[in-house]
Structures are given as structure tokens and as C-alpha cells.
Structure 1
């Protein structure tokens, strides 16, 4: 089983009409086509940046259709969430639309330990119509449980958004890097720390609006040009990601939508509990509005696929 997941993964936002009244599939498709044309190799529909938790089932289906129809020549990942049976139905829908893998959002149920999560994920891996990528945000899974899951045949990637990089580093030193593709799920801001333990692939919200910046970051990580990486963080990425993280992530999506607005693509507002930018936040973001596009000319070379 082989799914190309290396490099930059753009986690696409959802476009709306009427503020946030209705999903605008034309805007969603236009965004996917724009990011694809910008050279980003992997697109994710229905990640957290898409406000997936605030979309109804019909809206999620519409987003999946719109992204699948945008003509991306690289890898398409469908985010899926909810109860077991619902997740499996969503994966079947994504498979029929031509997606290459399904990203499983970590269950939001507050109960259940690592053993419960292992049962959840192994059942999904066995029954899923697509290979799966695990999206991990909590530390409920132990290092041994993580390695067990990564070695399952139909687990092709782990999007690691946990704060404990020491656990990931230990796993990689023990050979877990050969089991599947490990992806930095904490975006560009944290990419130097991930690169220090051997993970140069990352998910990106910035790539929605400025794919050339995300791609330049990746080139710097792969080539070892950390001064260039840190310049991008100091001049652009740091401001964007600090605002996105503020207040438990209240501006996570609205920052990206404002960047897109400045690029000429209006994607509407954000649904609660997300917040629109206040005047102070908008003023801070405006400081990096005109960061030059000349930071990157081409995207990174495609890395080898995850499995032989």
C-alpha cells in the first residue's frame, strides 16, 4: 500500500455564502485549485481548519465533492469524524469521490483511555474503504500503543499534533519512521523542532493563502537551511501562527480567511466557537500583509512514497 504524504499538506478552509449561512462549493473548489496550482502536493478536505466540527453531514459531503472536483494531481485526504459507523460511511463516500486516504480526527468523547483508542483505530483500519492517517492531539496513547498502530497495514500516516515530541523522537530512534509517514501536525511554527528529530513534512494553514511560503519552509527543512527557515518564521510565519493560537485557537481559521481576502478570495466568516478577528488582531496581521512573494519560486521535489 502506497500513499504519497511527504512534504506540505494544505488543510483547506471552508468557504461560505451569506456570512456563514451556506457552504459555497464554488469557493471551495476555487481554493483547492489555487493551492494545487501553487505546487502543494497534498490537500486535506475537512481538517480542523475547515471547521469540520461545525459542518452538517450534507455540508461535509459538499466540501468533499468540491475539493475532489478541483483537478488536484497529487494526494487527496478526506477528514472524517464522529461515531464509528458514521466515520466508515464518510470514508466510503470519500473513496467513491477519488480520495487517496482518510484522516481520522481523534474522537472528541472525553472518556476512554489508550486501550480504547487502540480498539477504535484498529477496527477502523480493518474496515475502512481507504488507507488511514491518524490525527493525534492528546497524549492518551502510550509510545508502545502508537508504534503498534503505526505498524498496522492500512495506517499510512500519523499527523502528530501532540505536545510531547520526546515520545515521537523515541519512537523514531527505535525505527518507527519506517512503518508509515510521520507528519508534523503543529504547522510551520514548530517545524524546526520536528525537523530536529527527523520529521520535515508538515500540515499548513498558511498554504491556503501563501503556498510559496509553506513550500519555502519545507525546502529549507529538507536542505538543512535553518537560517532561511527561521527568517521565514521571524518575518511572516511567527505572526500568523501566534495569532492563530491566541485564546485557545479562536482565530485559527479567521486569520487564514483574512490572508485569503487580501489575496482576492473571499471565503466568508467563521462559525462559533471560532471568532472573527477584532481590530487589534487585524492590525497585527496587517504588519505582514505585503511580505514578498519572491521568497519562493518553485515547490519542493516530491519525496518518495510512504511504502515500497
Structure 2
């Protein structure tokens, strides 16, 4: 791709200041194949509800358990269904494979890529910084960094976010003290910072001036995710507290024992609404009977959804 084309695309930086929905991956026949039709349905459903940023191939998509061909299927299905939403393609794996998927995302009309931290068990913060840095230098799309571990130092993060390719950081580390120090040091001037720990952490991030957040619950109840953001952005502490109390039991169940039910909870909730998305692949775990009962109890008091029916739509920028 000519350098001028790359520069032009990077100049068109999408905004990500609201709810960033992270799509799950529906399967057919248990978990034997990706269900592209239901992916398109979920994508349209999010847009109709008012979600303006959608991530394909995040952790909620079981990205590490998808084959390269399945990842392409997911990217293609989301791109085919989107009308106006900003699309982010999650990238994970080897440097070469990641660059190939980034190129495919560009061809399909994605607006940005999100770099997962390497799952490689070896390597320190310097190694991760080199991995991120080399991808940032070579992709044609703006980059969102997904930071989960504490291996990256403040200095390394500060240097990475200064890259002109980096437009946002999805921050899912438990140490908000580090984030506060980064923001005080001027890191907020370079890119958008996103709460990567979903609704439960919205109040804590809001105290730092960050109201954008990623949401898995948006797969099921985009209206609830949008209401949480509206309360946080509007400074309505009473309403925000009520909403967090509503979703907290569900989020607690998703995070139980190394987040083993993270995806299964969402799939069960969609199943209850008549949308079948199949099972989950190991190491994700299906819900136990006790977990299913806990989930039903947790959502028994939720208000009924007021969601429009997705319209059939043409593709935009599917390449």
C-alpha cells in the first residue's frame, strides 16, 4: 500500500468515547463451526440499539480458540452487517499472522485494529513493547493497545502511546494508580483511554475522567450498557450506582474462578431471549447447574429490554 494511503487512513482517527461492544462468537452444532448469520444479526442488533463502536475478535469472542479461517469468517460477517458503527478488529498471535489479519481487516473496511497482549508465557515488558511497536510501524490502520498484564512499565506505555498509529488504549490492568500516573504525566493527550474492565469498573475509571468502556453485556442488553455510559458521562451518581448494582451479580459470575464463565454467561442470557449462539470452547467452561440458577436469579429483577428489531442492511466498506 502506498505510504500516502496509509497516512491518510491514520489521519481519519475514529472516536471511541462511549460503549465499545465486544462481540462474542456464535457457533452452530455445539462449537463445531462459526455461525456467520448470527454474527450479522448481533452486529445489526447492536447498531439498531445505538452502539457506535464494535470490536470483533476480542477475548469475549474466544479469539485464541479460533482458527485463522474462522477469524476471517468473523471479520467478514461483522463487516458485512455494519452500517455506520466504528469497527475494531482484534489481532492476536504471531507477528506475521497478526500482520496478515491486519491487512485483511483493512481490506474489509475496518476502522482500527486492537492488539492483544501476546499469550506467549515468556518475555518481559521490553519484549511486549517491541511486539506492539513493530506492529504499529507496519499496519495501515489505527491501533488500539489492549493492556492486561503489569509487565509493561510506565515508561514503555508512555512511549507506545506517543506513536502516531496508537489512537486508544484499552486498559484492563488492576492497578489504576499506574493509570492515574500515566494520565497525570500527559499520556491522555496522545490517545483515548478506555476502561477495559467493563461496567463494574465504570465508577472507578470515571473518577479519573474516563467514561468509555468495553462491554460484553452489550451483546445481550445494549440498552443497559448505554444507560451505564449515559449515567457516568452525565455525572448521575445515583443512577450509575443503581445500574452497577443491577449488573454486578452477572459480572461477578462471569469473572468467577479465572473468568471461566465469561462467555457462557452471555450465551445463556442470549439463549433466554431466543438467540442461540452455541457452546463455548475449552478452556472456557459451560455453566454448571448452580451457576445457571445464580444467573437466572441475578437477572430476575432486570427491566425487560426495549430493543428494536434489526433491519436487513447492505454492507458498507466490506472490500
Superposition TM-score, scaled by structure 1 size: 0.93
Query: Over the residues paired in the alignment, what is the CA RMSD in angstroms?
Result: 1.4
CA distance in 2 between counterparts of 1:24 and 1:68 reads 14
Counterpart position of 2:194: 183
Counterpart position of 1:80: 91
Conserved? CA contact 1:79–1:105, under 8 Å: yes
Q: Is 1:94 paired with 2:105?
A: yes
Structure 1: stretches of 5+ with no match in the other structure: 298-308
Q: How does 1:83-162 map to 2 (within 5 A)?
A: 83-162=94-173
Counterpart position of 1:256: 266
Match of 1:14 among 25, 32, 56: 25
Q: Secondary structure at the match of 1:82?
A: coil
Q: How does 1:215-226 map to 2 (within 5 A)?
A: 215-226=226-237
CA distance in 2 between counterparts of 1:93 and 1:24 reads 19
Counterpart position of 1:277: 287
Q: How does 1:181-260 map to 2 (within 5 A)?
A: 181-235=192-246, 237-260=247-270
Conserved? CA contact 2:49–2:307, under 8 Å: no
Match of 1:39 among 42, 50, 74: 50
Conserved? CA contact 1:216–1:295, under 8 Å: no
C-alpha displacement at 1:294, in angstroms? 6.8
Q: Is 1:59 paired with 2:97?
A: no
CA distance in 2 between counterparts of 1:272 and 1:47 reads 16
CA distance in 2 between counterparts of 1:102 and 1:137 reads 16
Structure 2: stretches of 5+ with no match in the other structure: 1-10, 309-319
C-alpha displacement at 1:289, in angstroms? 4.0
Counterpart position of 1:303: none
Counterpart position of 1:164: 175
Q: Secondary structure at the match of 2:188?
A: helix
CA distance in 1 between counterparts of 2:204 and 2:273 reads 30
Superposition TM-score, scaled by structure 2 size: 0.90
C-alpha displacement at 1:110, in angstroms? 1.4
C-alpha displacement at 1:72, in angstroms? 3.3
Counterpart position of 2:313: none
C-alpha displacement at 1:71, in angstroms? 2.4
Counterpart position of 2:5: none
Q: Deviations over 1:226-248 (max 9, x none)?
A: 2211111212x101100000010
Q: Deviations over 1:205-229 (max 9, x none)?
A: 0000100100000011111112211
Q: Secondary structure at the match of 1:69?
A: helix
Q: Secondary structure at the match of 1:103?
A: strand
Conserved? CA contact 1:46–1:63, under 8 Å: yes
Q: Secondary structure at the match of 1:152?
A: coil
Q: How many residues align structurally?
A: 296
Conserved? CA contact 1:20–1:269, under 8 Å: yes
CA distance in 2 between counterparts of 1:169 and 1:176 reads 10
Conserved? CA contact 2:114–2:143, under 8 Å: yes
